[in-house]
Amino acid sequence: MANMSTTLFTKHEQKLNDALEAIQNRGFYSAYPEIPSGKIYGETAKATGQETFENYLGSTFELNQSGTEGTIGNEISPYGMAIQTQYPKANIDVLLKSMAGACSAWRNATIETRVGCAMEIMHRLNKRSFEMAFAVMHTTGQGFMMSFQAGGPHAQDRGLEAIAYAYKAMNDCPTEATWRKQVGRDDFVTLNKIFKIVPKGIALVIGCSTFPTWNTYPGLFASLVTGNAVVVKPHPGAILPLAITVSICQEVLVESGFDANLVTLVSDTAEDPVTATLVERPEITIIDYTGGTEFGNWVEANAGNAVVYTEKAGVNSVIIDSVEQLRAVTSNLAFSLCLYSGQMCTTPQNIFIPKNGIETSDGHASFDDVAGAIVKGVDWMLSDQGRANEVLGAIQNQTTADRIDSVEGELLRDGCSIEHAMFGSARTRSIKIVKLEASQRDIFEQEMFGPLVYIIATDSTQHSIELASSIAIEQGAISCGVYSTNEEVLETAVEAMALAGVPVSCNLVGNIWVNQSAAFSDFHVSGANPSGNATLTDSAFVVGRFSVVQCRTFVPEPQKVEA
Amino acid sequence: MANMSTTLFTKHEQKLNDALEAIQNRGFYSAYPEIPSGKIYGETAKATGQETFENYLGSTFELNQSGTEGTIGNEISPYGMAIQTQYPKANIDVLLKSMAGACSAWRNATIETRVGCAMEIMHRLNKRSFEMAFAVMHTTGQGFMMSFQAGGPHAQDRGLEAIAYAYKAMNDCPTEATWRKQVGRDDFVTLNKIFKIVPKGIALVIGCSTFPTWNTYPGLFASLVTGNAVVVKPHPGAILPLAITVSICQEVLVESGFDANLVTLVSDTAEDPVTATLVERPEITIIDYTGGTEFGNWVEANAGNAVVYTEKAGVNSVIIDSVEQLRAVTSNLAFSLCLYSGQMCTTPQNIFIPKNGIETSDGHASFDDVAGAIVKGVDWMLSDQGRANEVLGAIQNQTTADRIDSVEGELLRDGCSIEHAMFGSARTRSIKIVKLEASQRDIFEQEMFGPLVYIIATDSTQHSIELASSIAIEQGAISCGVYSTNEEVLETAVEAMALAGVPVSCNLVGNIWVNQSAAFSDFHVSGANPSGNATLTDSAFVVGRFSVVQCRTFVPEPQKVEA
């Protein structure tokens, strides 16, 4: 068994080393190909993935874990079809006890053994990226391409990034040291010291409905490789992607001689939720949470002595001060606004434009010119049904659709549903765009998750910056786009938003968007405003998952020989 | 001013590099000499230090900070004399506002500038170690030698260790990167990325009465060099050492062109405490706490969104299984028990010995033999008045004396007060030793801070280990001594205590004691049991004090030239 584990580490060592180099430089790196191509993944990979996915529908998903009492599950695809896969229903008392029992061997395994297992899991997840894409698509409502990329290789990259940080953090402390102190002219005291990595115990990862894998893998793998067992608690609407993930984890763990109960799935339904119960269990010592702000705040306050890492929600802004080519900017923004119907935590909600307009290299553009160009950009993006369906996807949750439907005001663009070419009963909405005045802060300072954009007329760019940064400080924010041809304005905006804990993207045009966050390079969520207390991924995200406990042993001095 | 700051970094760079190497290896290192010798500190250093200390008595301690409204202070030396130094009484609203105003320049200074300032502060603290020794001695009740070492160079070493970890953590992320991704056959997207260190804001360091500098410097300097302002809140009984510290901080900051309000002192009295008010202020974003468990738990629960690092209390054990030379062991233990009248957070409280006795290289020793040898060791240690006074010092707090006085039971050694040769009205107690049975767990599982030792008869060493580790898990523990000549027993004990988050010291004899914790090598408090959530010092202790916030800027591709 030990040999098997070492083999896994050796098998994946080059990829680990590449990842370690990438987190040190934070330039471009990706370990898992993002192109859903048969040339890369195998010519039959897509068909096999789809078939595997379809076989899950209406069937029972078996997992290799203790304490199962019946099944549970009630997923419905945002594209309209019932998923109705049944998952093990956990007796939490029995499950946690089994997990505690599984910890000892895992804790005592070497760092290389644990990392080798985790990287083998990731490797197998990668091979099943098409299957995962369908699972993510039909639980989140993302378009297929996005489901493949964000649910598969991009999520795997973020997981590997966390593994790399955890590996680095565990190796930061030596495993042993000799402490030798001179205490007299010829007298020394010598201690041999051993430094042991002691994991916290059992971790809980609470997934979200929109990015079930991308937001879950960092916490799951960071906790696992640092020696903890992990309960994966998916959102009741997006269980399947994490059931597949847990299944692969269990498979690799068992093959490596460990107990499958080291990674378990606890599923529930919206009607009968169990997350709060898990959060309050004293056995849970680490919690990773992605989801809404209200419940996230509850988790932070009710986690007892558990270490808690949260990504909640925020109110994201775009500040437009001046541009070179207006069309290049509004085209870029249009895609950012449309992608996955605005259901990304990084999607802009508020676009601030000075009421007197902006300068462009083609001359002055009035507020209405700029707002109109954004609307036109969105119109064009959604003018082709195939493109619209693929970019918008579907609305994950009826609550989101209802929320946006209820918004009234000065509509620059309507947000009614649009037909899906492949799925007639898909829950869809177009992008609703509302014009507001800066005085209507009580409206635009509220997070309105979903396909809604406010375009807000401000007194000046300085006013825009003040609004964007103060809202970020109060409500949180995860992204900010700034457009200016003036270096000083850029600096002022970046400084203000950095202080508000918001990563800024400046002057994005072309094939790069404000809502993208690239593993190994972009820090996702700063941890420095109410949108979350953690970052994907930095050292702080991993070091709280284990302790170093030392042992020092007296070493007698050799007897002095009289000369 | 910038030049001055760079100069400070250069001046201390070698020491920083040595410290960085030390934290990587965690062998023996000390930056500040622990010998209170005139040859090292200057022949007049002790006299000057004493004179400076005496000048503080009854006078007003001036500090260079805003919001002062009158004075406050009511310290009385445990050696009997009134200190009655008056410190600035802070208007907290005004003070915190001034501190917030001071943050900008400090935050925007380079890492090297901040580290240079911190190391210059440490350098000047070191030069004033004699003055500090008298201040620590007459607030804590420590003997002079311990006051010098723990209050001076050892505290400075721990501070430097925190500076080194913070410096390393801030430099772990690159300041900039180029992200270049291929998005088509000949198409690339390039982003320039900048990663900014954004400090959390205003930190609060809550000092304790027994080690006002040693336990305060790590948090103070870790927060300061990561760009935060720091409120130092000393225990009302031990203000002077931290007033001197803050004064030196302000002196160096002002000389370097910064606002003195970056490091401030908020003093109070036992009758009119302000700590809770500070903890609950929303401006406070980081809290370091050392002190009792009850208030520490309150701080953890009431700190809002502040990051909290605590060292609370624990119940420390010694497990005696078998020894080579009994006398070498009991002499070593005797000093550990006597040092500073058991008022160290690392002092053993419970000594577990199998009721059937232990094996030694001189044959079997009964329980009573071993217990008797410990008592005899303590008796010898305290048999010379000068030695007794120096080792025991005085009792910091009347509550501690009362607590120990109230203990009844099967006394193996009485704990009444002993005369002090130099200070007739010193508050002293000898070491009280009580014999207990293992069945009396309800007594010995309670922390009894002060000069009280329980010697407990157990069924076996395994029983001793179970008691020590389960009490550590429930009540916390900061140290554990194990004596065994059997490798297997040592391993079992170390494994059990490590899981309980307790650093173990094995077979200490001679000039090294279980209650010592050496900077740069020993991790003090594991963070893995109720005695605290943090360690002095590791990466986890520093990374929560700042965030990294990124800015990415689109870089247009050069125009393609048609061939």
Contact B546, B226 (CB under 8 A): yes
pLDDT tens readout for residues B270-329: 999 999 999 999 999 999 999 999 999 999 999 988 999 999 999 999 999 999 999 999
Q: Which residues of chain B lie closer than 8 angstroms to A498, CB-CB?
A: 196, 198, 549, 551
Contact A506, A480 (CB under 8 A): no
- Residue A252: strand, helix, or coil: helix
Q: Judge whether residue B2 has pLDDT over 60.
A: no
Residue type, B426: A
Structural domain contains residue A435: yes
Q: Of B219, B316, B228, whose CA–CA distance to B534 is shortest?
A: B219
pLDDT for B119 equals: 98
pLDDT tens readout for residues A77-89: 999 999 999 999 9
Instruction: Determine the residue of chain A that is closest to B517 in CA distance.
Output: A552
**Can you tell me the mean pLDDT for B252-275?**
97
Same domain, A288 and A417: no
CA distances for A515 relative to A435, A511, A525, angstroms: 22, 12, 12
Cα A190 to Cα A556: distance, rounded to the nearest angstrom: 7
- Of the candidates A177, A506, A547, the beta carbon closest to that of B27 is on A177
Q: Which residues of chain A lie closer than 8 angstroms to B180, CB-CB?
A: 27-28
pLDDT for B103 equals: 97
Order of all β-strands in the sheet with B284-290? B263-265, B229-233, B202-206, B284-290, B307-311
pLDDT for A562 equals: 60
State the average pLDDT for chain B: 96
Same domain, A96 and A24: yes
Q: Of A206, A26, A228, A42, whose CA–CA distance to A118 is shortest?
A: A228
Same domain, B375 and B460: yes
Same domain, B85 and B219: yes
Percent pLDDT > 70 in chain B is 98
Same domain, B295 and B424: no
Question: Cβ separation of B502 and A549 shorter than 8 Å?
Answer: yes
Same domain, B140 and B200: yes
Count of A–B CB contacts within 8 Å?
181
Q: Where are the beta strands (DSSP E) in A157-283?
A: 176-182, 188-199, 202-206, 229-233, 263-265
Q: What is the largest CA-CA distance in chain A?
A: 99
Q: Which residues of chain A lie closer than 8 angstroms to B544, CB-CB?
A: 540
Q: Which residues of chain A lie closer than 8 angstroms to B501, CB-CB?
A: 198, 547, 549
Question: Cβ separation of B503 and A200 shorter than 8 Å?
Answer: no
Instruction: Determine the residue of chain B that is closest to A536 in CA distance.
Output: B548
**Can you tell me the mean pLDDT for B49-75?**
97
Same domain, B323 and B252: no
pLDDT for B1 equals: 46
- Most B CBs within 10 Å, among A552, A555, A557, to test the B interface: A552
- Most A CBs within 10 Å, among B167, B548, B557, B559, to test the A interface: B548
Instruction: Determine the residue of chain B that is closest to A509 in CA distance.
Output: B554
pLDDT for B562 equals: 59
Same domain, B417 and B327: yes
pLDDT tens readout for residues A235-261: 999 999 999 999 999 999 999 999 999
Cα A544 to Cα A169: distance, rounded to the nearest angstrom: 10
- Most A CBs within 10 Å, among B20, B23, B26, to test the A interface: B26
Q: Are strands A410-413 and A263-265 parallel, antiparallel or unpaired?
A: unpaired
Cα B513 to Cα A270: distance, rounded to the nearest angstrom: 57
Q: Which residues of chain A lie closer than 8 angstroms to B554, CB-CB?
A: 505-510, 512
Q: Residue B481: in which H helix or E strand, if any? A: strand B480-483
**Can you tell me the mean pLDDT for A434-447?**
98
Q: Does A554 touch chain B (CB under 8 A)?
A: yes
Question: Binning pLDDT at 50, 70 and 90, where does residue B5 land?
Answer: low
pLDDT for B26 equals: 96
Nearest CA of chain A to the CA of B421: how many Å? 28
Question: Cβ separation of A27 and B178 shorter than 8 Å?
Answer: yes
How many residues are listed for chain B in this entry? Answer: 563
In chain B, positions 183-202, which contact chain A (CB-CB < 8 Å)? 183, 187, 189, 191, 193-196, 198, 200
Structural domain contains residue B259: yes
- Count of alpha carbons within 13 angstroms of residue B165, beta-carbon side: 34
In chain B, positions 483-512, which contact chain A (CB-CB < 8 Å)? 490, 494, 497-499, 501-512
Q: Which residues of chain B lie closer than 8 angstroms to A550, CB-CB?
A: 503-504, 522-523
Q: Does A166 touch chain B (CB under 8 A)?
A: no
- Residue B285: how many other CB atoms lie within 10 Å: 23
Q: Does A179 touch chain B (CB under 8 A)?
A: yes
Contact A338, A318 (CB under 8 A): no
pLDDT for A4 equals: 59
CA distances for B318 relative to A307, A398, B433, B493, angstroms: 30, 61, 14, 11
Instruction: Determine the residue of chain A that is closest to B513 in CA distance.
Output: A554
Q: Judge whether residue A561 has pLDDT over 70.
A: no
Q: Judge whether residue A5 has pLDDT over 90.
A: no
Question: Cβ separation of A522 and B305 shorter than 8 Å?
Answer: no
Provide the CATH number for the domain around residue A331.
3.40.309.10
pLDDT for B6 equals: 80
pLDDT for A1 equals: 46
Question: Cβ separation of A547 and B527 shorter than 8 Å?
Answer: yes
Sequence-distant contacts of A46-53: CB under 8 A, at least 24 apart:
A46/A130, A48/A130, A48/A131, A49/A128, A49/A129, A49/A130, A49/A131, A49/A132, A49/A133, A49/A134, A50/A130, A50/A131, A50/A134, A52/A128, A52/A131, A53/A131, A53/A134, A53/A135, A53/A138
Q: Which domain holds residue A35?
A: 2-171+197-312
Same domain, B142 and B280: yes
State the average pLDDT for chain A: 96
Q: How many domains does chain B have?
A: 2
Question: Binning pLDDT at 50, 70 and 90, where does residue A521 land?
Answer: very high
Nearest CA of chain B to the CA of A494: how many Å? 7
- Most B CBs within 10 Å, among A24, A175, A554, to test the B interface: A554
Question: Cβ separation of A544 and B540 shorter than 8 Å?
Answer: yes
Task: Write down the pTM of the prediction.
Answer: 0.97
Order of all β-strands in the sheet with B452-458? A176-182, A188-199, A546-555, B504-506, B480-483, B317-320, B350-354, B452-458, B432-437, B410-413
Q: Which residues of chain B lie closer than 8 angstroms to A490, CB-CB?
A: 553
Q: Judge whether residue B563 has pLDDT over 70.
A: no
pLDDT tens readout for residues B354-376: 999 999 999 999 999 999 999 99
Nearest CA of chain A to the CA of B261: how many Å? 20
Domain termination residue (choose one: A265, A287, A312):
A312
Q: Judge whether residue A2 has pLDDT over 80.
A: no
Order of all β-strands in the sheet with A307-311? A263-265, A229-233, A202-206, A284-290, A307-311
Structure tokens at A51: 């078939």
pLDDT tens readout for residues A146-196: 999 999 999 999 999 999 999 999 999 999 999 999 998 889 999 999 999
**Can you tell me the mean pLDDT for A116-122?**
98
Nearest CA of chain B to the CA of A521: how many Å? 7
Given the cut 0.90, state whether the ipTM is greater than it: yes
Cα A131 to Cα A241: distance, rounded to the nearest angstrom: 9
Cα B477 to Cα B347: distance, rounded to the nearest angstrom: 10
Instruction: Determine the residue of chain A that is closest to B510 in CA distance.
Output: A189
Cα A400 to Cα B277: distance, rounded to the nearest angstrom: 41
Structure tokens at B196: 């900014």
pLDDT tens readout for residues A120-134: 999 999 999 999 999
Question: Cβ separation of A552 and B196 shorter than 8 Å?
Answer: no
Structural domain contains residue A557: no
Same domain, A482 and A372: yes
Structural domain contains residue B560: no
Q: Which residues of chain A lie closer than 8 angstroms to B497, CB-CB?
A: 549
**Can you tell me the mean pLDDT for B154-163?**
98
pLDDT for B497 equals: 98
Question: Cβ separation of A547 and B553 shorter than 8 Å?
Answer: no
pLDDT tens readout for residues B463-503: 999 999 999 999 999 999 999 999 999 999 999 999 999 99
Nearest CA of chain B to the CA of A490: how many Å? 10
Same domain, A203 and A274: yes
Provide the CATH number for the domain around residue A308.
3.40.605.10
- DSSP class of residue A159? H
Same domain, B287 and B330: no
Instruction: Determine the residue of chain A that is closest to B285 in CA distance.
Output: A528
Structural domain contains residue B519: no
Structural domain contains residue A554: no
- First and final CA of chain A: distance in angstroms? 54
Structural domain contains residue A563: no
Question: Binning pLDDT at 50, 70 and 90, where does residue A313 land?
Answer: very high
Q: Which residues of chain A lie closer than 8 angstroms to B528, CB-CB?
A: 198, 200, 547, 549
Q: Does B26 touch chain A (CB under 8 A)?
A: yes
Structural domain contains residue B525: no
- First and final CA of chain B: distance in angstroms? 54
Cα B523 to Cα B388: distance, rounded to the nearest angstrom: 29
Q: Are strands B317-320 and B307-311 parallel, antiparallel or unpaired?
A: unpaired
Instruction: Determine the residue of chain A that is closest to B526 in CA distance.
Output: A549
Cα A144 to Cα A165: distance, rounded to the nearest angstrom: 30
Structure tokens at A271: 């009607």
- DSSP class of residue B200? -
pLDDT for A3 equals: 53
Cα A364 to Cα B181: distance, rounded to the nearest angstrom: 33
Cα B549 to Cα B195: distance, rounded to the nearest angstrom: 6
Question: Cβ separation of B552 and A499 shorter than 8 Å?
Answer: no
Q: Does B21 touch chain A (CB under 8 A)?
A: no
